[in-house]
Structure 1
Amino acid sequence: MAKNQPSSTRDKAKAMREAQQKKEKRVRNLIIAIVSVIVVAVIATLIIVITTVDKDRTKSGFVGAQSGAQSGEILPIANGGPIVISDLGVGKANPDVPNLDLFFSYTCHACASLEEAVGDSLTKDALDGQYNLVLHPVDTATMAFQGPATNAALIVAEQDPENFVAFHRALMLFLNEEVNVKKDGTIVQNIASSKEKVAEMAKEVGVPQDIIDQFGDEATEYIAASQEIWRNFPAEGRDGLATPEMVFMGTVIPWTGNTPSEMYQNITTAMQQIADAQTGNSSQS
């Protein structure tokens, strides 16, 4: 019996070592599995973050461009401030994108031409988050239509922002048809006819009647305040006050081109060049 004890002890020791090795292997495998899961999770998170950043960069064509604050403070409408269109909605400026300020009049025939050609495209880009489209109604080419149109636009922008874009475009396209196509001032030269037409267009785009009932004949005080903002607005390259005037990041953009697509391309190219110059990037076209 005594001779068998060492062999039995060795067997037990071997079994214990093997059991310990198996335990250590299981612990090691468990640690590796946990670390692998953590690494995969970290990588997945990084991919999501990078993808989100890239999507945001793609969304705005002016990455790194300073916000529109440098183009002048955006005052509330009550103080003669503009009507803002952005991806946040009408009346809400996105502080993370630059401003495209547009000074125009609801009786300016050239403004009507600009709207007819590229208005839809510029508005779409603003709604897509490329920039804030900042509309400044001012006084040029004064006609009776200006008062009712401006008055109604301001009311709709504040009380029915969902319908503002369609209403604004309807006003401008009507002006384009009257003064540039028909060359007829019968309605736009008459206050009563203008007010009636403005109300009709508002109803057609879905503005509620209780808001239409608030429309007035004039916006004299607002236009005077907006006019003062325009005169003092920082605009490099300005040659006198004339509408339409587009200012992007403090620089006036000319609107040139023989077709709507060419005009839109020229405008967006000019904006990209201004953004590149201010951020130190170089554009490749």
Structure 2
Amino acid sequence: MPIKIPRLLPAREILEEENIFVMDDDRALTQDIRPLNILILNLMPEKEKTEAQLLRLLGNTPLQVNISFLKTATHESKNTSPLHLEQFYTTFAEVKHRKFDGMIITGAPIELLPFEKVDYWEELKEIMDWTKSHVTSTLHICWGGQAALFHHFGIQKYELTRKCSGVFTHQIHDRSEKLLRGFDDSFLAPHSRNTDIFIEKVKNHPTLKLLSASEEAGPFILSANNGKQIMITGHLEYEAETLAEEYKRDIQKGLDIHPPKHYFPNNDPTKQPLNRWRSHAHLLFSNWLNYYVYQETPYEWD
């Protein structure tokens, strides 16, 4: 089934080349099915890349999905053209009267900043509070996940002595959870962050459920309130080259950085990395859309 996106969105061409089913408004009108309305708060600097990564996964299910992109009103993006933002993005003030079946809050490369020092933190807190009454299930990714853990559950992040970057093996801690239905006993996923959370605080929290973790990378997938809030500390949506691009960017900045672990063949940054997590990325997003959004959201919100 298709994903409905604006006709002129740059990611459309990328997705169509990969045989991802997309449609525009005209074709969507002929679909006699209740579409899911998904809101994406895109906090990543290179927004067009993140759009393609997320839409690729959201568009590979038997459900019709209507996508709306949200930007912060209190922060001006420096890496995405104002024309692109004006054409495809809206602000919270313009959508807060609506209810959405699902929402994604992305990561942001600001994890070394205290939450209270982020210039859009107050706006983000208002949005996260709003999701509790206006969104069936919200998926928080990387820094977005840490922000949710801090705001909703009081779990603070801490700075790592070395950046957690690479592709790590994860184990399942709760096989009964529908989000992990069909997952292998162990699976791979990329991480890219300078902060982490203490796994003991997650395990001891009365509301949080630890669904998956890695011995090297720490807590990975967490949920709360029957999946109304889902937090993922890594980046299953990443493409094969994303970590390599980040590594080259950090080298150009003069940072003392190590190559991503378990990523480059033979740990050689000159070799092409492989995407070894794609199937589980598709499975996680499919499970989320089906079990936590489609199966839980009312047909008529009113």
Taking structure 2 as the reference length, what is the TM-score of the superposition? 0.24
Structure with the greater alpha carbon radius of gyration: 1
Higher relative contact order by CA 8 Å / sep ≥ 6: 1 or 2? 1
Higher strand share: 2
Q: TM-score, normalised by structure 1?
A: 0.25
Task: Looking at secondary structure, tell me which structure has more helix per residue.
Answer: 1
